[in-house]
Amino acid sequence: MATANKNLSDYDKKTIPNASKFRFGIVVSEWNDTITEGLFEGAYNVLIENGVLPDNIIRWDVPGSFELIYGCKKMQDHIVDAVIAIGCVIQGETKHFDFVCEGVTQGIKDLNVLHETPVIFCVLTDNNMQQSIDRSGGIHGNKGTEAGIAAIRMANLRHNF
């Protein structure tokens, strides 16, 4: 398990670029909202902790994880320096899980290849609810925090190279 020996919320603040000049978009799936709200809080809080003004964080909600692709694409049209896609897909009894996970992964990858504004993948794809709880502020920390740090680093990369 990739997160077994890592806390997703740990980072060295000294290594994070100054984020005060950046604007961020966060697109949040309403499906499994107890999890996605925790992920949003992690991303939002780490952006604020690293100098981003609250007015420079734009949040849009979409119905489910599959809709993150369109939401992020539209968010890229706004003047933001990076977008964070937040979702949670939990394994069920059918192959729907596989189709949604594959579609969202490929869709977000395509947005990164085709557009200049980076999209950070913060979509949990877990086997059960407990795994999602553990990664959205539980025993493994918060994947949203990790995504927020990635967004800052990618926004900095976009503007400096």
- Assigned domain for 40 exists: yes
User: How far apart (Å, rounded) are the C-alpha atoms in residues 116 and 158?
Assistant: 8
Q: What is the pTM of this model?
A: 0.95
Q: For the chain, how many structural domains are there in total?
A: 1
Contacts 24+ apart (CB under 8 A), 137-141: 137/38, 137/41, 137/42, 140/3, 140/6, 140/7, 140/8, 141/3, 141/6, 141/7, 141/8, 141/9, 141/10
98: CATH? 3.40.50.960
Task: Give the structural domain span for 71.
Answer: 29-160
Confidence of residue 154 (pLDDT cuts 50, 70, 90): very high
pLDDT tens figures, 80-138: 999 999 999 999 888 899 999 999 999 999 999 999 999 999 999 999 999 999 999 99
- Assigned domain for 90 exists: yes
Amino acid at 67: E
- Assigned domain for 21 exists: no
Percent of the chain with pLDDT over 70: 97
Confidence of residue 1 (pLDDT cuts 50, 70, 90): very low
Catalytic residue among 78, 96, 115, 140: 96
Q: Tell me if residue 140 is catalytic.
A: no
- Assigned domain for 150 exists: yes
pLDDT tens figures, 115-129: 999 999 999 999 999
